Amino acid sequence: MIKTPDWVKNAVFYQIFPDRFARSESTIKGQWQASTYEGWDATPTYQGYKGGNLWGIIDKLDYIKDLGVNAIYFTPIFQSASNHRYHTHDYYQVDPMLGGNVAFDALIKAAHEQEIKVVLDGVFNHASRGFFFFNDILENGPNSPWLDWFTVHDWPVSAYDGSKPANYQSWIGDRALPEFNHDNPQVKEYIMQIAEYWLHKGIDGWRLDVPNEVDTPGFWQEFRDRVKAVNPEAYIVGEIWGDATLWLDGTQFDGVMNYRFTEPTIAFVGGENYDPQYCQHELRPYPPISGTEYAIRIDALLKLYDWEIQQTQLNLLDSHDTPRMLTTVREDKSSFMLSTLLLMTFPGAPSIFYGDEVGLTGGKDPDCRRVFPEPETWDVEILKGYKELIALRHQYAALRTGTYKTLYADQYLYVFARILDEQEVIVVVNAGNEQTDTVFVVTELKSQPEDLVYGSGRLNWQNTPEGKKLELIIPGRSGAIIN
């Protein structure tokens, strides 16, 4: 029987890119401060550092808690010569710019005191040119004792000169990212021990970067066994953009970053507001789809994996790898908030990319990684909506772990229910520009929910010879939650 962490089913995640969220000075001796940063409010560049750190995040935990968030997913925090830290130098050291291991220990303690879980990014497919074991190969060539930690095709290796063949295996041909040889038992054991080490240090789970690139048989099965042996409730979530059936069999990951939810959701409520220039990777929320097609695609998605897995998927609208959703829909707030309504009422854990809740914009990488804005520039209307929807998710257990039933769908209207025991909650989205007045038979519910707890509109239940009917009058470009 498949078992996933119960806390994730009740979690609302906040994704933080540490260099861009907040910065604060440390007074602890030995906390080295870098001397040159890019301007905090300047347009982000690929290689520039802003200087955000873990001390700054600790200072903002009250804000995160007040939002209703109870879990944080951090993009990589280990020592690295890149602002995003996917080029790992040392898996046992938190980057000194972030405050080092001292700041991490303080962060874990402070977060857990606020009942906020912490999930780290595990970059275990590749390391970097600065990673000691690979750097030894650069220094000693064929004489290096660590050759079989990587895959060298020929000599000499060229780690920096793009005019020459790299001569070693790297991620998507990027010579900055030498790939581990996962068939080497030492490499496998090294990665397993890293995972265990940070769990013992108090983290609550791992997000795995490009885990589909690791094809050594049994690797992720052993990873799960080792992780769960340290903490049975630890969360393992993979970055898989497409169909994740191979990895969601209950022996590997608890869930994946659910871009299969993101795509149809934006295509439905974003509609023609979505700018197709932002389609990239495997995420293509264009052309627009109808409510009927959305119902079909969501039903197919919910049938793809075991229900226990569905409840621990990591659902999102955007991330550090995609443009900000608000920008992709040409800053149309109704598209953004209708998507957020669907995000907060879908099975699985919703994940907010830092700043989305205050209307932060940004195009393709690196623009999507802007700094968290100052309060005077926040969109307070969006923030109010986020807080309201998160609070309702926490208030109604059915919105977290209830079964999901589509009640009605047409060109612009989509209506579904979340049902848990006697609690039945209806969610309505009108993606059209005009008010809709729709009547349909409801056979899936025992009760007749009629309390409008979010949004606007009117409803009326009718008992007819054909059965129980629900009339919904919902303004254009709006949604509602009914209990």
Active site residue ranges: 209, 239
Query: CB–CB of 19/49 below 8 Å?
Result: yes
Query: How many CA atoms lie less than 13 Å away from 357 in the CB half-sphere?
Result: 28
- Residue whose C-alpha is closest to residue 121's, from 84, 153, 149: 84
- Residue whose C-alpha is closest to residue 476's, from 439, 437, 432: 432
Query: CB–CB of 317/15 below 8 Å?
Result: no
How many angstroms separate the first and last alpha carbons of the chain? 33
Query: CB–CB of 186/149 below 8 Å?
Result: yes
Helix 185-200, helix 219-230: angle, nearest 10? 30
Cα separation, 32 vs 97, whole angstroms: 7
**Assigned token pair, 183:** 């068939």
CA distances from 282 to 54, 241, 279, 321 (A): 32, 6, 8, 11
**Assigned token pair, 6:** 């119960």
Q: How many CB atoms lie within 10 A of CB 205?
A: 25
Residue whose entry in the numeric block shows the structure tokens 């190969």: 137
Backbone angles phi, psi at 7, to 5 degrees: -65, -30
CA distances from 11 to 4, 244, 292, 352, 475 (A): 13, 21, 29, 11, 31
Q: How many angstroms from the chain centroid is the CA of residue 224?
A: 20
Query: CB–CB of 410/291 below 8 Å?
Result: yes
Ordered alpha helix ranges (H), 231-369: 259-270, 291-304, 307-310, 325-328, 333-344
Sheet holding 314-316, edge to edge: 255-256, 235-238, 205-208, 117-122, 71-74, 13-16, 349-353, 314-316
Cα separation, 327 vs 418, whole angstroms: 30
**Assigned token pair, 10:** 């009740």
Cα separation, 414 vs 434, whole angstroms: 14
Write a three-state SS string for 226-260: HHHHHCCCCEEEECCCCCCHHHCCCCCCCEEECHH
Backbone angles phi, psi at 328, to 5 degrees: -65, -25
